[in-house]
Amino acid sequence: MAEEMTNPTPAETPAAPKAASAAKPAATAAKPAAAKPAGHAAPKGPPLATLTPELLQLQQQFGESVITPAPYVGVLVNDLSKLRDVMTYVRDQLGFDMLANATAVDYIKEGYIEVVYHPQRSKGGQPITLKVRVPRGKDPVAPTEVAVPSLTPVYAGAEFQEREIYDMYGVRFEGHPDLRRILTWEGFYGWPLRKDWREAYYEGDTKPFDSRWPGGHHELAEERVPWADNVNYPPGFDPLNFTANPDAGLYDSMAAGVPGLDAKSNGHALQPEGIGAAVPVLDRNRNTIADEEELQTDQIIVNMGPQHPSTHGVLRMVVKLDGETVTDLKLVLGYLHRNHEKIGERNTWLHNIPYTDRLDYICGLANELGYVITVEKMMGIKPTERAEYLRVIMAELTRIQSHFWAIGFLLNDLGAFYTPALYFITERDLILDLFESVTGSRLMCNYMRFGGVSRDFTEDQIMHARQLAFDRIPRKIDELEQLLTDNEIIKARTIGVGYLPAERSINYSLTGPCLRAAGVPYDIRRVDPYSIYDRFDFDIPVFYGADVYDRYRVRVAEMRQSLRIVQQALNQLDQTKPGDIQAGKKAYNHRVPAGEAYGRVETPKGELGFYLVSDGGQNPYRYHVRSSSFINLNSLKEMTVGHKVADAVVILGSLDIVLGEVDR
């Protein structure tokens, strides 16, 4: 297998970690006539990628001037105008029907921003990498002059991801239906993830900062900065003569049919005097209605959230209602945008592990696993046997407790206020007890390390885990099914609600239990096995209803399969050496060889990917999180439109989002 794969199996990687993740230089000879891109022809540049058969086919189709090998991994599409054709070909002819990930990297020295796409096949296998480059432009505040064609017509799942790239890097996308800022707000100054953009508390490009403990004296960030707070204003800014409009453009496409909402008013004017003005007056002396127009009622726009008990956190849904029926829906995100990626690029590699806990804060251990295996692939190290087993046990218990939580709160959204959730939180607390006794923390475990884990299980903890996995949790899952699965009310409220067929789900890049409830057996543990999942006997539960009920049933079935994995792992744990939990020496300052990798794991919410770029230093050059909650939300509109507003809440609950991961 060629080294084009973003994650070579550890057995293939050479022992010397320096050259590990970079593409094998010798193997690049297989591509003799590689026309190097003009901007990247330096003699001592990074090694170019070897092309996999799919990419060679792509190159033959579009010509060697359009498709050239990129540094390290993937291909460059040199002609922006052909991008959409290339991607359509990739989707239809090569079968990469799902855009797993789209992000960008700012190569400030070279003067361009690289947009990176990772399409993958819903049938399984490795994703491929395609890249395009746009010049950064002169003006640091304006978006790029050159626009990238939007991929939304090819992959519906690109919509939010392209908006994120626009928000963070200022890359314009031509043909995007709704290109506005997504995580920050309209009017925000600058493009935060560009390398030359500095936050108010800027101390240095990379940690550890010298300023943090100068001469044994610590100063507050507030004392250091000119505004004495975490703010920065452009010179000449006048807050007294200025109209803020953070929602600019939000209501533009929703204005049709809503009286009082003027599309040109930028959403500022939901003027009360306009509401009701367009109500047709029925002639009371007439028995018949002349035409359908008369029967049409006013549509209204309702903002749900960001403070709303059923939006699972600080999510804001803007719904357009005809009576009680949702006719349009838009999401406003970013209320929990905590700048993971900017902070992550300042942090050292090790610093980022506890931050990943806080992405999807219900299942921190699963996020850690995704991050450490991606970095391990880049470093070419392999964790010890025992550490692998401990990781799997922890990750699968995390899946169980996350699904308990998801089901409990789905029932909450259905109106069974709190009682089912209380049942499941009790069970979840028992699993958290184990996490706490092993790692020291209930939620933010900070347990995994590069090449191992931080602590071993003691005999007592193994007994605790066995008691949970063999006795308590199986019993409780039976009880859960008995209480809920055949419940008439649940069936009436959920069957057929939130339907999204398989092909649309794939096109929307939906992953996780929601995709498997639509009949697509896509689970990364099976289609692209990582860690030691290939050793266990387990099934991938698939249901075909593609509705809320089947999403619930997939989760219940998955809990049982996770239990099977935990049981097997606990039985095999005896064969490993106690205490052998860290490969190599413990280190604080890891150096990751220059290169890039896209690693992914199956978290309870779906595919969690990490796109990491290293320049060989102590810090990631680019740290991107492909979050399943965020991308799954793309499809919420299509699932919801046509349903009642009460169902919108349930459909959102069935997606099982966590805002920490949505907004990052």
Partner 1 sequence: MAEQKNAPEAFENDPRVPEELRNNVFITSLDKLYNWGRKRSMWPMLFGLACCAIEMIATAASRHDLARFGWELMRASPRQADLMIVSGTVTKKMIPQIVRLYNQMPEPRYVIAMGACATAGGPFKEGYNVVSGVDKFIPVDVYITGCPPRPEALLHSFIKLQEKIEKQSLRNVPWYQKGEEDVVPVPVLGPDLVDMRRAQEIKEKAAQAASAQQQSAA
For residue 201, state whether it binds partner 1 (rule: CB under 8 A). yes
Partners of 449 in beta bridges:
452
For residue 343, state whether it binds partner 1 (rule: CB under 8 A). yes
User: What's the sign of the alpha-carbon dihedral 338, 340, 344, 345?
Assistant: negative
Find the binder of partner 1 among 53, 188, 256, 616 (CB under 8 A): 188
Q: How far is the CB of 273 from partner 1 (least distance, A)?
A: 23
For residue 124, state whether it binds partner 1 (rule: CB under 8 A). no
For residue 192, state whether it binds partner 1 (rule: CB under 8 A). yes
Contact region for partner 1 (CB under 8 A) — 68-76, 88-96, 440-448, 485-493?
440-448
**How far from chain centre, in Å, is Cα 43?**
37
Rounded CA-CA distance 164/162 in Å is: 5
For residue 334, state whether it binds partner 1 (rule: CB under 8 A). yes
Q: How far is the CB of 475 from partner 1 (least distance, A)?
A: 17
Helix 385-413 with 645-655: angle, nearest 10 deg = 170
Rounded CA-CA distance 169/512 in Å is: 28
Nearer to partner 1 by Cβ, of 47 and 313: the residue is: 313
Cβ contact 335:315 at 8 Å:
yes
Quick one: which H or E segment has residue 586? none
Nearer to partner 1 by Cβ, of 124 and 143: the residue is: 143
| Residue carrying the six token digits 């289609």 | 527
For residue 483, state whether it binds partner 1 (rule: CB under 8 A). no
Find the binder of partner 1 among 29, 30, 142, 231 (CB under 8 A): 231
For residue 588, state whether it binds partner 1 (rule: CB under 8 A). no
For residue 213, state whether it binds partner 1 (rule: CB under 8 A). no
Nearer to partner 1 by Cβ, of 96 and 435: the residue is: 435
Site for partner 1 in 347-376 (CB under 8 A): 354-355, 358, 361-362
Nearer to partner 1 by Cβ, of 187 and 323: the residue is: 187
Find the binder of partner 1 among 15, 217, 242, 273 (CB under 8 A): 242
Give the CA-trace dihedral at 83, 84, 89, 95, to 10 degrees. 100
Q: How far is the CB of 529 from partner 1 (least distance, A)?
A: 30
Contact region for partner 1 (CB under 8 A) — 58-66, 219-227, 500-508, 548-556?
219-227
Supply the Cα-derived Rg of the chain in whole angstroms: 26
Strand residues in 426-526 grouped as ranges (E)? 448-449, 452-453
Q: How far is the CB of 531 from partner 1 (least distance, A)?
A: 25
Nearer to partner 1 by Cβ, of 92 and 222: the residue is: 222
Helix 548-572 with 473-484: angle, nearest 10 deg = 170
Find the binder of partner 1 among 425, 542, 556, 645 (CB under 8 A): 425
Strands 620-626 and 147-149: unpaired
For residue 544, state whether it binds partner 1 (rule: CB under 8 A). no
Give the count of beta carbons closer than 10 Å to the beta carbon of residue 295: 10
Nearer to partner 1 by Cβ, of 236 and 272: the residue is: 236
Pattern of binders to partner 1 over 299-328, x per CB under 8 A?
A: -------xxxx---xx--------------
Contact region for partner 1 (CB under 8 A) — 37-45, 63-71, 177-185, 380-388?
177-185
Cβ contact 494:414 at 8 Å:
yes
Find the binder of partner 1 among 43, 236, 272, 579 (CB under 8 A): 236
Rounded CA-CA distance 497/503 in Å is: 17
Pattern of binders to partner 1 over 392-421, x per CB under 8 A?
A: -----------------------------x
Instruction: Give Cβ neighbours of residue 215 (< 8 Å, ≥ 6 apart).
Output: none
Rounded CA-CA distance 177/235 in Å is: 33
Letter string b/e over residues 613-628, b meaning 16 or more CB atoms within 10 A of that residue's CB:
bbbeebbbbbbbbbbb
Rounded CA-CA distance 222/28 in Å is: 51
Nearer to partner 1 by Cβ, of 338 and 526: the residue is: 338
DSSP string of 362-423?
T-HHHHHHHHHHHHHHHHT----HHHHHHHHHHHHHHHHHHHHHHHHHHHHHTT--SHHHHH
For residue 170, state whether it binds partner 1 (rule: CB under 8 A). no
For residue 659, state whether it binds partner 1 (rule: CB under 8 A). yes
Nearer to partner 1 by Cβ, of 56 and 343: the residue is: 343
For residue 337, state whether it binds partner 1 (rule: CB under 8 A). yes
Cα 632 to Cα 128, 173, 492, 638, distances in angstroms: 21, 21, 24, 11
Rounded CA-CA distance 603/514 in Å is: 12
Rounded CA-CA distance 50/74 in Å is: 8
Find the binder of partner 1 among 30, 256, 295, 422 (CB under 8 A): 422
Number of residues that bind partner 1 (CB under 8 A): 60
Nearer to partner 1 by Cβ, of 36 and 224: the residue is: 224
**Binding residues vs partner 1 (CB under 8 A):** 183-185, 187-189, 192, 199-201, 203, 221-222, 226-227, 229-240, 242, 244, 246, 306-309, 313-314, 334-339, 342-343, 346, 354-355, 358, 361-362, 421-422, 425-426, 429, 442-444, 659-660
